[in-house]
Structure 1
Amino acid sequence: MLLTKLRVEEEKKDPEVLEQDLEELEFQVFRMQANVKEIAKKWQIIGIEQTKKEKWVIVSIVDDGQVCKIMLNDCESAYRGVWDFSIQAKYEDQSTIHIGDIKGEENKGYGSICMDYLKEHAKDQNIQYIKGDLAKRDWDHLDRLIHFYNKHNFDVEVDHENQSGSIVCQPHW
């Protein structure tokens, strides 16, 4: 059914647009191959995903038992030794992981991809809670953060007076 839907959509496209889309996809696959080789030298690759804007990304992880970082690299540019987006967390105890920071460009779908992988990793580690804080530094993009965390089934508590708050997710495995 999905392939049929894609074919119908492609048939509606101008041949020049289809050719351009194919060239872009070929470039992303070429870049993905090169990036996977380089990223795998440093990090554990845990997935390859497509964003909401049909861009391919590579997802990797580092976890030393105390700190967990989910990282994402796009396939539009060469890997230069650093990630394009990450969620950094630490283990509070055997049942809780605490998100310390989310870094990278917003509105590309990268945060949702990384959050899904963090939840999957938490499930694999038998973690029951994913928590985090809202800090004063987040206040200029608070609405966006609340929307993001609500979308990912977090309970969000905000103390506007003290410009602070907390997030908690108890995933239902």
Structure 2
Amino acid sequence: MFTVKEKNRQELEEELNDLEFQIYRMQENMKDLSKDAKVLGIDQSKHDEWMIVSSIDDGQTCKIMLTDCKTAYRGKGCFSLVASYKDDAIHIGDIKGPPNHGFGSICMKYLKDIARDHNIPKVTGDIAKRDWNHVDRLIHFYEKHHFKVCIDHDTQSGSIKWVDL
């Protein structure tokens, strides 16, 4: 049976104070961040952290970045996904940042939106030998986001592909 733990007054007050601080920081960070990048939106991580989603896009490369609302923006986000435009696809080059916070899922949602906005039907990428120590996590992540994942265990490499239907 599913039960929900009720929070006491002190826990609720701490949560409210944290949320108020994040909203204040969000205002400040958005103002500063908008000088460096295009602000795409705000989203919440799986740990209830508010994140500002932004991008720098020069028509050849697209970098989607997340900036948290718990610390001051100092010119760099806490997570990023870098992709390049290739013919009829966007090709993911690198994903940088801590795993298992939901940050990659936020970036992937916005990357797919960018692909749709540009009428690009595919998102592709490679799984390289350097990724092999966490390949199971990558397979889970990409399959969760409806990518076809092809892995060659002999060469410790692979590819990913998402097609918008």
* TM-score (normalised: structure 1): 0.91
Alignment correspondent of 1:14 = 8
Alignment correspondent of 1:140 = 133
Task: Quote the Cα distance in structure 1 between the aligned partners of 2:72 and 2:164.
Answer: 35
Alignment correspondent of 1:5 = none
Q: How far apart are residue 62 of structure 1 and its match?
A: 1.1
Alignment correspondent of 2:106 = 113
The gaps in structure 1 that reach 5 residues or longer are: 1-8
Task: Quote the Cα distance in structure 1 between the aligned partners of 2:104 and 2:5.
Answer: 32
Alignment correspondent of 1:65 = 59
The aligned length equals: 163
Alignment correspondent of 1:37 = 31
Task: Quote the Cα distance in structure 2 between the aligned partners of 1:10 and 1:169.
Answer: 36
Alignment correspondent of 2:49 = 55
Provide closer, same or farther for how the CA distance between residues 20 and 166 of structure 1 changes in structure 2, counting only shifts above 3 A. Answer: same
Alignment correspondent of 1:4 = none
Runs of 4+ residues over 3 Å off in structure 1: none
Task: Quote the Cα distance in structure 2 between the aligned partners of 1:144 and 1:165.
Answer: 14
What letter is aligned with 1:128?
Answer: P
Alignment correspondent of 1:153 = 146
The gaps in structure 2 that reach 5 residues or longer are: none
What letter is aligned with 1:18?
Answer: L
Alignment correspondent of 1:84 = 78
- 1:34 is paired with a residue whose SS is helix
Task: Quote the Cα distance in structure 2 between the aligned partners of 1:18 and 1:68.
Answer: 39
Q: How far apart are residue 12 of structure 1 and its match?
A: 2.8
What letter is aligned with 2:10?
Answer: E
Q: How far apart are residue 11 of structure 1 and its match?
A: 9.8
Q: Which has the higher helix share?
A: 1
Task: Quote the Cα distance in structure 2 between the aligned partners of 1:20 and 1:97.
Answer: 42
What letter is aligned with 2:86?
Answer: E
Equivalent residues of 1:157, 1:166 under 8 A apart: yes
Task: Quote the Cα distance in structure 2 between the aligned partners of 1:153 and 1:10.
Answer: 31
Alignment correspondent of 2:122 = 129
Cα-to-partner distance string for 1:10-66 (whole Å, 9 max, x where unaligned): 993200111000000011111111110110000000010111111100000111111
Task: Quote the Cα distance in structure 2 between the aligned partners of 1:130 and 1:105.
Answer: 22
Equivalent residues of 1:10, 1:18 under 8 A apart: no
What letter is aligned with 2:25?
Answer: R
Provide closer, same or farther for how the CA distance between residues 11 and 150 of structure 1 changes in structure 2, counting only shifts above 3 A. Answer: closer
